[in-house]
């Protein structure tokens, strides 16, 4: 993990997910446990489970609307997590998340696909 300082108060965390097993259609439970545990250890699991929601993109001060610095920081951290998650997916799984825009959207999409296996998937196993 490396930290990059933003506004000299809170660092962005670059989480190394290279030791996480690649997600395939057969190992979702183990993969999700590895990823969630790793992110929980860095206090970042809220980015995938939705408990760290996006702040408002803008704030209004003295009648002037500006970009919310908390949103900018949140977005950057979310994209670092998103990128890390993408790197843990096997090439055959990556297309399933091509329309997601955030780490939590990706997590939900994968859970919806693999956490509740269909009858056909169970028979395949």
Q: Give the integer Cα–Cα distance in Å for 86 and 94.
A: 7
- Of the listed ranges 45-49, 106-110, 114-118, the least confidently predicted one is 114-118
Confidence of residue 124 (pLDDT cuts 50, 70, 90): very low
Confidence of residue 100 (pLDDT cuts 50, 70, 90): very high
**In contact, 99 and 82? CB cutoff 8 Å:** no
Closest C-alpha among 22, 43, 44 to residue 31: 22
Q: Give the integer Cα–Cα distance in Å for 2 and 11.
A: 9
Question: 125 vs 17, 25, 118, 121, 122, CA distance in Å?
Answer: 27, 10, 11, 6, 5
pTM: 0.83
pLDDT the model gives residue 9: 67
How high does pLDDT run on average in the chain?
Answer: 88
Q: What is the pLDDT of residues 24-71, one digit of tens each?
A: 999 999 999 999 999 999 999 999 999 999 999 999 999 999 999 999
SS3 66: strand
């Amino acid at each position: 993990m490396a930290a990059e300082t933003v506004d000299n108060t809170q660092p962005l965390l670059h989480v190394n997910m290279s030791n996480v097993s690649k997600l395939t259609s057969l190992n979702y439970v183990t993969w999700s446990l590895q990823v969630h545990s790793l992110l929980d250890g860095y206090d970042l699991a809220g980015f995938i489970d939705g408990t760290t929601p996006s702040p408002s993109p803008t704030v209004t001060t003295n009648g002037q609307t500006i970009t919310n610095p908390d949103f900018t920081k949140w977005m950057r951290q979310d994209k670092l997590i998103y990128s890390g998650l993408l790197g843990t997916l096997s090439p055959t799984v990556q297309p399933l998340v091509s329309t997601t825009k955030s780490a939590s959207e990706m997590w939900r999409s994968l859970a919806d696909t693999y956490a509740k296996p269909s009858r056909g998937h169970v028979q395949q196993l």
